Structure 1
Amino acid sequence: MDDRIKKSVCPNCWRTVFSVESFNAAWKAGESRPSTVESSSADIDAGYTYDTPSWAEMQLSINRMCEWCDLLCEELLVYHRHVTKTEEPPPNKTFRVAVSWTPSWHVYTTAEDHAARYITERGVLDKIDSPESYALALQRIRECESQHVRCPRPARATLPTRVIDCADPSRPRLFITEGAPVDYYVALSYVWGEDQPHRTTSSRLASYTKCIDTSCIPKTIRDAIRVTHTLGIRYLWVDAFCIIQDSKEDKANEIARIRTIFREAYVTIIAANAGKRAPVPMPGWRHGDNAPTGGRRGPREPVNTRAWCLEERVLSTRALWYCSHTLQYECQTAHVNVDGNQNMSDPLDGVPRLPDCVFTPELSALTQAQVTDPSVGKTVDAAWRNMLGLYTRRALTKPRDRLLAFSGVVEYFHRFWFGSRYLAGLWEHQMPGCLLWYQSRGEPAPRPEKYRAPSWSWASVDGEISSLAVTYTGAVCTVIHCYAEPKWDVNPYGEVTAGALILNAPLRRVVWDPVEMELFEVHGVPAGIADDSRSERGEIGFIAVDAAEQVAKSTCEVTAAVLVETSTSLLGILIIPVALGDAILDGSHDVSGTFRRVGWFTAPFCDKSVWLGRPPEIIGIV
């Protein structure tokens, strides 16, 4: 057996689930798919059954590149959250797992075979650094250029401020492009991982323009230099070397150009699995619906867990994906293996792309009529909510980049919503509805210690955000004033230093239970519950907590600000008063109090006439 297979799992997995005996038992059971149950559950008869190591031990195995522990833990985590409603199993937790292998047969052939005209399926190309793979990659680009009406044509473009000259891959150098003619260039998207000690700084800039010692370049970037050269392109843009990393001004200027850099690149190289060994699938291997050939879902790639990489992906006109299992090509029209197979996208992200009217308005002949067309508007609204969810579930090495790493995507949407203001993650034309975002998965994270955004912005907290696609009968509040102060004028879509929202809204004192996630009337207030029979504990609604903080540790009184009314409920945000500090409100509005947001609520069991019967109040939220 190929030694690479053995090296892709830990010793414990090799002795248990990947032994010959267990594999045969799983294969014979083969009618059912893999499933997981807790240790305390009844034994499973079908397939091969074993007890896993502890959760902590499996995490260590993942760090040592065990592909099976990685795959299994992803499924166990989903199961655990569903059953226990907690974020992660305790370190000593073990699971009993039953494994069965379902036989699956796929008929495929090579492109040059005589049967290829009848059999369209092709095998997975595993030699991704070969003349064949480069030829196929160029073939996909040529087909895109000549046949894809949805995709912009490759063209020479103004080079970014700095690029790596790959004319001699053994002696790359940093090239400062001021005054250089337009040309093709390649961009690299990858996961940085550990800090890169040999990145470009002010002190190294001069020496790097002469030569960059290849022994100082991480393997991912060395590979990208070789790929760029082999594709016949001279220049490569890599953030670690093409941005002066110790200059705040240079970083602000270059990051503001990210959208253009990736959009105008000849192709983007996406190192989807950088720093992680590629698994070698066993014959007939499948996990759920993830099959190495013939399926639509593929391995979960590390690049799809990083926030910056989503922006770089969706902004790229064309991309070559160096995945753990094969080489893929992606553009606005297609996501395929370079040999033409339509299969194996990451099940976490699928194939996220911007709508054509946002990504290529020049090709879709975008007009004012299209912008105001309700059907087009719904498509763009849905794309924004989807992108926001995909983006906020991803991790950031520097959490302060929460707004910054999304700014390139935002700029694309602003080309469509050109009549609206973008305010720290929200759009003016979507207010007040866009204020109804909420934490949608897992336990809330602690509130950041340093200021990142006003509390009414999703960027002020960590975690995955959902934006309601709710149809409301009417807004019951008025947005009087809203502003957010950009940190850098060169990038109005990035970091902010201050912001405030002034609302005229109905307010009501309520009791929230952040543990059970329920909302109640204040004790002693007789009115407000419309129908006791619809609630179990007398709750009038449900909540989502923004962050793990002192106010969210126990049941207490907060203020509900009602924003919109639906046919069945009132929706709004939960706020608490704050002392007015250094200048947040401009003083031109007379407010009854200043608050900050701590959560979201829906109140389907309240008496709307009572809640909306009081005059609204003008408040400031910071």
Structure 2
Amino acid sequence: MEALFLPSGQPTVCKWCCMNNAQVVFESQGVCQVCYEKAVLAQKKPELCDLCKSLFTDEQVTKDLLSETAFPYGGLSYIRPSAENGCTLCRIFLLQDPNPDPGRLPLSAMLYATSSEREAQSGAGWTDINSIYFSSEQDQYQLMMSVSAKSDNPAAKYISQRPLESNLATPTIFNQIQCWLHECGTTHNDGPDLNSPKYRMPTRVIDVGSAAEPHIKLFEPPPTLRDQYIALSYCWGRDPFLMTLTTNIDEHKKALDMSTLPQTFRDAVATTRGLGLRYIWIDALCIIQNSNEDKAKEIGVMGDIYSLATITITTVNASCVADGFLQPKSQVTAELPFKCPDGEMGSVLVSAQKTTDLWQQRLYQRAWCLQENLLSPRVLLFTDTEVIWQCQTFPFRRRDNKHVVYVNDNASFIASPFRRLPASVFSPASNANPPADLELDIQTWKSIVENYTRRRLTVASDRLPALAGVTEKFQQVLKDEYYAGLWKSQFIPLLAWSRTTRHPKDYFPPLESYRAPTWSWASIEGPIEYHTVTESDSAKHIQAKFISCTTEPVMPDLASLGEIKSGRLTLEVSMVPASKSPLAQAAATRTGTAEWDEQRKPLSGPPLSVFPTPELLDECYDMFLCEGQTFRGKQKNNLSLILQHVDGEADDVFERIGLYSGYVKGNWKPWAGVKRRVINII
């Protein structure tokens, strides 16, 4: 049997014996074959050790858990044999300890507990414990565990936290969602009113039926019908599944057989019914998938479909449509005896807290799902453990528990996966005037584009269409003209993009067919980042000046927010041959950085060529764009586009091939004496 390997290429050491190479995964950890057999045997014959039994039954031990000095637990010499003898909690300690050192736990570990806010606020005479922490190396590594009690257990009077649901389709969860929905629709002022009569329905929806008529079917609402509906955001996956086509649409209008639907669609229907609604929009069933005309038409109104939905169901962990989302993954849980303050014996459940980074989840790596999340005024995130509510007022809300910790859960941070669009996007009444804070709106747009370009697309030509819904909403707010990913009023600053340097080992080959003009970030594959642009009086006379821009959409009858077949940008600029610009000096003095739009992949090493070669310098031009701001205090830098003449075109027609950032003070002077000229970039 082969060993398991880490991403670094090093073999994984068995988490159980800490000596052999891991060969098998057991309870999400790598173990060797010998230890795997021990673990399986222990799992079949669970029996708590005496030390674990005493944690919540021995008054002194419980006091030590809550003290500043904590409770000294056994080391590896105690925990490993105890785990082999069937102690579930010791097995959790042994396998889930985040300390990667094979030599951990030489003597003893520390175990301590924390109480809930409810207990602290009430001043009760008992301690409402909601978490315990296992530390194999003080101040270094902590295994966080949640403590909960079932509602019908005697311990529930003293332990307020409840276990995670084993099924996310329970009446309790649906009732909670309905309460959140009612509160949002009646008391929140920064989202659409649930009872507004003006919100039209999509072209097609799935009618999930009623108690009297439980059959489901594809339904085309008449233009006069105004009703609430749910939208679904999910990952398709690679395997084929039932879709609406020109050949079966009439059949789907008559009835849809539940048994033929993938599990995610079935779960979505069950959730719609559970929330008391009748209609749900699912793209694969509500768009005719083999009709380019219908797809283009529906993509053009995608912004409205999600922004007008009552709520959007988002399947966070389902990697494909066959996975479903209502059956959460089971957790390894230890049941410990609990002596209640009134003397009655109960029990509590202890399980390892899970740390989740939503950015690493499949759905958050799918390009289409970004706008589906951002445009929805209300979102239900179905994770593999729970349901999270999102709206403009509460970007991150869930039932009170300590079972899961989310990375970057503060929605005010740009890096947070819970961050929402500005409230103005969901408040049409406030859109009568130009934006009050243009700088904030443009900064939000930049962060969205940077986030979006990190995500994957199955169809390369969707780079602009998959963001068209967000673009449409921003256009309503900005009152601005849009060209292939850039806004007219901020065109020069928005040209200051380059391939991100945060992932130097990633290689993205050139596109096989045309997608966007070279001045647009949509012309390349992979993530981009924006450079900070500043106003400069000293370099203002050589800064690029926007004259005009045109783009030609693939579908002339639709707005030019989606797929395009050509684009031309006209600028008044100062430009010099690259061999006579600071770009040439950068190669020798390393006083600047050139980031190429098309990557060069060498035989070895990272694919990104950082400094220009002499051969390339002879072929290109350096066009001063604007001054920027580095991260080195207040130091400014100059930003310039690296251009190349387009063969077969007039002398004034160029294509962008990169961006140069120079760090030397005043190195914009080579452009100062150059005669200004008008050029076109395609």
TM tier, smaller: 0.7 to 0.9
Partner residue in 1 for 2:529: 466
SS in 2 for 1:383: helix
> Given residue 227 of structure 1, which amino acid in structure 2 is its aligned partner?
T
Rounded Cα–Cα distance in structure 2 between residues aligned with 1:378 and 1:486:
28
Partner residue in 1 for 2:399: 339
Partner residue in 2 for 1:222: 266
Query: Following superposition of structure 1 onto structure 2, how do residues 124-135 of structure 1 map, counting pairs within 5 Å?
Result: 124-135=164-175
Query: Following superposition of structure 1 onto structure 2, how do residues 68-217 of structure 1 map, counting pairs within 5 Å?
Result: 102-104=142-144, 106=146, 124-155=164-195, 157-167=199-209, 171-179=215-223, 181-217=225-261
Match among 598, 603, 620 for residue 547 of structure 1:
598
Rounded Cα–Cα distance in structure 2 between residues aligned with 1:318 and 1:15:
49
Partner residue in 2 for 1:593: 652
Partner residue in 2 for 1:563: 625
Q: CA deviation at 1:480?
A: 2.1
Structure 1 stretch displaced more, 203-212 or 563-572: 563-572
Match among 278, 294, 297 for residue 250 of structure 1:
294
Query: Following superposition of structure 1 onto structure 2, how do residues 266-415 of structure 1 map, counting pairs within 5 Å?
Result: 266-274=310-318, 275=320, 278-282=328-332, 300-340=360-400, 344-345=405-406, 347=408, 349-362=416-429, 365-366=430-431, 368=433, 371=435, 373=436, 376-415=437-476
Q: CA deviation at 1:304?
A: 0.9
CA contact (8 A) 2:395 2:419 kept: no
The change in CA–CA distance for 1:604 and 1:304 in structure 2 (over 3 A counts) is same
> Given residue 350 of structure 1, which amino acid in structure 2 is its aligned partner?
P
Q: CA deviation at 1:308?
A: 0.6
CA contact (8 A) 1:299 1:344 kept: no
> Given residue 399 of structure 1, which amino acid in structure 2 is its aligned partner?
A
Partner residue in 1 for 2:514: 451
What is the CA deviation profile of residues 466-500 of structure 1, one whole-angstrom value per residue up to 9, with x for unaligned ones? 12232231551222221111222323211111101
Rounded Cα–Cα distance in structure 2 between residues aligned with 1:509 and 1:204:
60
What is the CA deviation profile of residues 254-299 of structure 1, one whole-angstrom value per residue up to 9, with x for unaligned ones? 1111111111112111111224585444459xxxxxx975979668
> Given residue 487 of structure 2, which amino acid in structure 1 is its aligned partner?
W
CA contact (8 A) 1:439 1:466 kept: yes
What is the CA deviation profile of residues 137-160 of structure 1, one whole-angstrom value per residue up to 9, with x for unaligned ones? 111111222332323221364221
The change in CA–CA distance for 1:507 and 1:396 in structure 2 (over 3 A counts) is same
> Given residue 560 of structure 1, which amino acid in structure 2 is its aligned partner?
D
TM-score, normalised on structure 2? 0.68
The change in CA–CA distance for 1:292 and 1:240 in structure 2 (over 3 A counts) is farther
CA contact (8 A) 1:172 1:212 kept: yes
Rounded Cα–Cα distance in structure 1 between residues aligned with 2:577 and 2:28:
56
Partner residue in 2 for 1:532: none
TM-score, normalised on structure 1? 0.74
The change in CA–CA distance for 1:220 and 1:125 in structure 2 (over 3 A counts) is same
Q: CA deviation at 1:422?
A: 0.3
Rounded Cα–Cα distance in structure 1 between residues aligned with 2:300 and 2:307:
13
Q: CA deviation at 1:402?
A: 0.2
The change in CA–CA distance for 1:400 and 1:244 in structure 2 (over 3 A counts) is same
> Given residue 507 of structure 1, which amino acid in structure 2 is its aligned partner?
M
What is the CA deviation profile of residues 186-231 of structure 1, one whole-angstrom value per residue up to 9, with x for unaligned ones? 1111011125342111111111111122232111011111111221
SS in 1 for 2:379: strand
CA contact (8 A) 1:186 1:266 kept: yes
Q: What root-mean-square deviation, in Å, do the aligned CA atoms of Structure 1 and Structure 2 show? A: 3.8
1:620 aligns with 2:662: no
The change in CA–CA distance for 1:548 and 1:164 in structure 2 (over 3 A counts) is same
Q: CA deviation at 1:408?
A: 0.4
CA contact (8 A) 1:593 1:619 kept: yes
CA contact (8 A) 1:301 1:323 kept: no
Rounded Cα–Cα distance in structure 2 between residues aligned with 1:224 and 1:26:
34
Q: CA deviation at 1:611?
A: 3.1
Match among 485, 493, 497 for residue 565 of structure 2:
497
Q: Which runs of 5+ in 2 are unaligned?
A: 1-23, 40-78, 84-89, 107-139, 335-350, 409-414, 603-607, 629-634
SS in 2 for 1:104: strand
Rounded Cα–Cα distance in structure 2 between residues aligned with 1:144 and 1:14:
52
Q: CA deviation at 1:502?
A: 1.7
What is the CA deviation profile of residues 496-548 of structure 1, one whole-angstrom value per residue up to 9, with x for unaligned ones? 11101122222222369xxxxxx9654xxxxxx6xxxxx89423411212122
Rounded Cα–Cα distance in structure 2 between residues aligned with 1:259 and 1:571:
34
Rounded Cα–Cα distance in structure 2 between residues aligned with 1:346 and 1:170:
41
Q: CA deviation at 1:28?
A: 7.8
> Given residue 490 of structure 2, which amino acid in structure 1 is its aligned partner?
Q
Rounded Cα–Cα distance in structure 2 between residues aligned with 1:103 and 1:316:
36
CA contact (8 A) 1:27 1:102 kept: no
Indicate the percent of aligned positions where both proteins have the same amino acid: 28
Q: CA deviation at 1:361?
A: 4.5
Match among 491, 494, 497 for residue 434 of structure 1:
494
Rounded Cα–Cα distance in structure 2 between residues aligned with 1:444 and 1:313:
28
SS in 2 for 1:171: coil
SS in 2 for 1:220: helix
> Given residue 527 of structure 2, which amino acid in structure 1 is its aligned partner?
E
The change in CA–CA distance for 1:270 and 1:573 in structure 2 (over 3 A counts) is same
Q: CA deviation at 1:12?
A: 5.2
Q: CA deviation at 1:45?
A: 4.2
Partner residue in 2 for 1:60: none
CA contact (8 A) 1:301 1:324 kept: no
The change in CA–CA distance for 1:293 and 1:366 in structure 2 (over 3 A counts) is farther
CA contact (8 A) 2:550 2:569 kept: yes
The change in CA–CA distance for 1:494 and 1:114 in structure 2 (over 3 A counts) is farther
SS in 2 for 1:456: coil
Q: CA deviation at 1:178?
A: 2.9
SS in 1 for 2:636: coil
The change in CA–CA distance for 1:111 and 1:439 in structure 2 (over 3 A counts) is farther
1:577 aligns with 2:645: yes
